Structure 1
Amino acid sequence: MKFRNFKLTGYVVYGNGSFDQLGEIIAPKRKDNAPMIFFVDEYFRDKPDFLNRIPLEGQDKIVIIDVTHEPKTTYVDKLRDELTAAFGTVSGIIGIGGGSVMDMAKAVSLMMSNPGSSADYQGWDLVKVPGVYKVGVPTISGTGAEVSRTCVLTGPTRKLGMNSDYTVYDQILLDPSLTASVPVNQRFYTAMDCYIHCVESLTGTYLNAFSKSYGEKAQELCEEIFLQKNNWDSDSDEKLMMASYAGGMSIAYSQVGVAHAVSYGLSYLLGTKHGIGNCIVFDKLEEYYPEGVAKFKEMVKKHNIDIPQHITKGLTDAQFDTMINVSLGMAPLWENALGKDWKEKIDAKKLRALYERL
């Protein structure tokens, strides 16, 4: 058996208020006549108090990232071309925001050093050249994008990540205070991405002690926050940020499963955001994750969260086929969920019936 040589994030800073150390942290990575580029979630567009905390120097630039849709290869290529035209090269890319911004920063960092289109690198270990220095600063917790070796992109023909050791952030900065203002529903949808990571990892065929250790702790934190506690506070922000980190680590040496495989089809066709897409799918997966889904429904009820229903009503056969093809293309996810003989357990007909229930 050949074991994976797992690439970890280079450096981690954790703590309330640690965002104010960002300038000090990136200073040694600055190069002459090559600015730092700060990708900032559009949520902060009209929040000058926050934008003024970003440690700009010289030609540094803030780029507000449009997160209306999940990251597209065309958007990645456009930003790379604009930065190259304006500066030639850059000292680094700092992503500040949610999972979409985390993935955009990773992808553009890679494309500053690799030729062609980002669509050429959708897959496993296709990136051959390290990107420019990159830093991840999550401002919402749950996706685990700050520690993952992928940046999930929607390309011309599929939704698939640039999965490589070079995708991992060189530095992450985890400041729980940055998540305090996240709207309630959005916080829940993104937190459930973490919870679903854990359920899929802990019940999967790829499970091992490394993944189990992180996954169990992340799931325990999610359940404590959303089932045991009645009020949200700074302690909840801290625990959810650590759950996101541990949840991301749990799938780094294992894999996700049915919910993610099916939600990728929704996202590709309908543009459904990742967190809410996972919730829509997981809500209907009692057959695969009975205990996890039961607890999920309890969390939804306790926190009065709206899970959209009937979003696939009225779709054409061709549209269902598109989602099915995208989903069935996620072979590692299905194998983790159902085993090496997964093709005998899930087919287009069964998957169509599941999509019709969403």
Structure 2
Amino acid sequence: MENTLGLGLVRQPKTVLFGPGQRGQLGLYARGFGTRVLMVTDERMATTPEFKAMHDDLSAAGMKISIYDQALPDLPRQNVIDATAPFARGSIDVIVGIGGGSCMDLAKAVSVILAHGGDVRDYFGEFAVPGPGIPIITIPTTGGTGAEVTSLAIVYDDENQMKMAIADAHIAPAIAIIDPELTLSCPPGLTAATAADALSHLVEAYTARPKNPTPQQIATQIYVGKNRITDMFCTQGLTLMNKSLGAVVDDPSDLAARSDVMFAAYCAGMAINTTGTAAAHAIQSPMAAIGHTPHGFGVGALLPYVMRFNLPYCTSEFAQIGQTLGVVRPGQSERDQGRAAITRIEELLEKTGTPMELASLGVEETHFDQIAASSVKATRLVLNNPAPMTEQAIKALLARGVAGDRSWWEKP
């Protein structure tokens, strides 16, 4: 668990614009790419006054506008097929993805197809996109996924019944416009679930395995380990979550708290774009097929057990999180500082309403073999985790989670 290279590395959009009301600059920025724009969003967002105002702003900028407003959660491959079908390659100058993670991931996938053709499956994996796509502007409406800045598009392949990823620097958004006012209408349940997701990103990124990559690995792999710059983003994000997550849950109209949580989610996105996520996300994906729990609550429910699983392998990192969260006492050992950090993270998760055990998500012992076997197939995530992820270890971790055993066990 040491970055012996002293490496600092992030991949990021060319421009990030943050602040209340900044969506009003969309037309100005989009016009810089051409005159033909495709707006990608979901059915709910397309009916809002905010969407209409952004549409009118693009129109006032002299742009010819097309709209696809059928994006679904857990982005299905069919969405990509349907969104690209009306357009020839090169017929769109810029794509604007407005909404949650699925909407923004759809914009990235559409960008690839409209630039290079083929099926989205042709680009699953790392660095499979042959060149730049159509420029993308991302505008998130939740404070959680961080997809507005990542080089990933997660697509559910219905035929293979698996979430797959396009992981490529060529799909990084050109511009991210992050406007906290757009989260004010986000339903309380979705607000809480996406905040839990962002919190898990920050924890998993800060405790991810440093990989000391070679130049060749940096050129061919998205996830090249935690490093000095990702740690900086995680520290800022954790500080803001510690301060404002509870306030957002208590008062969803609190714009200052919304701004803090959205900035924390941005920080998390910047970090996981290089570190990747780890065990909680690897296990949650196959687990979601059982209880269909919202992603944020699923990873949040796993996090207490994943943190205990990883604590012996990254004790210093958890101690540093405890220091960032202001929960350590003078003279405490690193282990106790780490435990204090885990306890505080759990308090924040409980504030969001995240279930703190797995049985309430429909997970039973009969599911353990299936979940464990699928989890270890998420190789990119497994390699990020500080503790070795074997099928046996995952099954033992699931047993702790179903029992709700949050004692300080050393091994699951």
The CA RMSD over aligned residues, in Å, is 3.0
| Residue identity opposite 2:233 in structure 1 | Y
Indicate the larger mover: 38-47 or 92-101.
38-47
- Give the 5 Å matches for 1:70-85: 70-84=74-88
Contact 2:373 2:391 in 1 (8 A): no
2:258 pairs, out of 221, 231, 237, with 237
Give, in whole Å, the separation in 1 of the partners of 2:241 and 2:23. 24
> Which position in structure 1 is the counterpart of 2:360?
310
CA deviation after TM superposition for structure 1 residue 268, in Å: 5.3
| Residue identity opposite 2:238 in structure 1 | Q
Give, in whole Å, the separation in 1 of the partners of 2:188 and 2:395. 36
CA deviation after TM superposition for structure 1 residue 313, in Å: 4.5
Indicate the larger mover: 166-175 or 118-127.
118-127
Contact 1:312 1:356 in 2 (8 A): no
CA deviation after TM superposition for structure 1 residue 13, in Å: 1.8
> Quick check: 1:168 aligned with 2:172?
yes
| Residue identity opposite 2:178 in structure 1 | L
Structure 2 gap ranges (5+): 211-225, 311-338, 405-412
> Which position in structure 1 is the counterpart of 2:372?
324
CA deviation after TM superposition for structure 1 residue 144, in Å: 0.8
Distance 1:271 1:110, change over 3 A: farther
CA deviation after TM superposition for structure 1 residue 335, in Å: 2.4
SS at 2:85's partner residue?
Answer: helix
Structure 1 gap ranges (5+): none
CA deviation after TM superposition for structure 1 residue 188, in Å: 1.4
2:203 pairs, out of 184, 195, 199, with 199
| Residue identity opposite 2:77 in structure 1 | T
Give, in whole Å, the separation in 1 of the partners of 2:276 and 2:364. 32
Distance 1:349 1:123, change over 3 A: same
| Residue identity opposite 1:311 in structure 2 | L
Indicate the larger mover: 38-47 or 184-193.
38-47
| Residue identity opposite 1:336 in structure 2 | N
CA deviation after TM superposition for structure 1 residue 265, in Å: 1.4
> Which position in structure 1 is the counterpart of 2:328?
none
| Residue identity opposite 1:237 in structure 2 | R
SS at 1:190's partner residue?
Answer: helix
Indicate the larger mover: 252-261 or 100-109.
252-261
> Which position in structure 1 is the counterpart of 2:93?
91
Give, in whole Å, the separation in 2 of the partners of 1:130 and 1:58. 22
Give, in whole Å, the separation in 2 of the partners of 1:174 and 1:242. 8
Contact 1:286 1:293 in 2 (8 A): yes
- Give the 5 Å matches for 1:1-358: 6-31=10-35, 35-48=36-49, 50-54=51-55, 55-56=58-59, 57=62, 59-67=64-72, 69-84=73-88, 89-155=91-157, 156-157=159-160, 158-206=162-210, 207-227=226-246, 231-232=251-252, 233-267=254-288, 271-288=292-309, 293-302=342-351, 309-313=359-363, 322-338=370-386, 342-343=388-389, 346=392, 349-350=395-396, 353=399
SS at 1:131's partner residue?
Answer: coil
Contact 2:376 2:389 in 1 (8 A): no
Superposition TM-score, scaled by structure 1 size: 0.85
Give, in whole Å, the separation in 2 of the partners of 1:102 and 1:169. 9
Contact 1:65 1:101 in 2 (8 A): no
Give, in whole Å, the separation in 1 of the partners of 2:130 and 2:8. 17
CA deviation after TM superposition for structure 1 residue 49, in Å: 5.5
CA deviation after TM superposition for structure 1 residue 5, in Å: 7.1
SS at 1:294's partner residue?
Answer: helix
Q: How many pairs does the alignment contain?
A: 348
| Residue identity opposite 2:27 in structure 1 | G
> Which position in structure 1 is the counterpart of 2:215?
none
